[in-house]
Amino acid sequence: MYKGSSKIAKQLGGRGVYGQIELTCNISGKNHGIDIISPDTLEQWRTAVLSGAEYFMEHSAMKGHLFITVNDIHYNTVDTNKIVITFLTVLALADAFGTKMAVTPFFDKDSIAFVFPK
Query: Domain spans of the chain?
Result: 2-115
Instruction: State pTM to two decimals.
Output: 0.95
The total number of residues shown for the chain amounts to: 118
Q: Which CATH class is domain 2-115?
A: alpha beta
At residue 11, what are phi and psi to the nearest 5 degrees? -125, 115
What tens-digit pLDDT sequence spans the chain (118 residues)?
999 999 999 988 788 899 999 999 999 988 889 999 999 999 999 999 999 999 999 999 999 999 999 999 999 999 999 999 999 999 999 999 999 898 999 999 888 889 999 9
State in Å, rounded, how far the first CA of the chain is from the last one. 28
Report how far residue 16's alpha carbon sits from residue 5's, in angstroms, rounded to the nearest whole number. Answer: 20
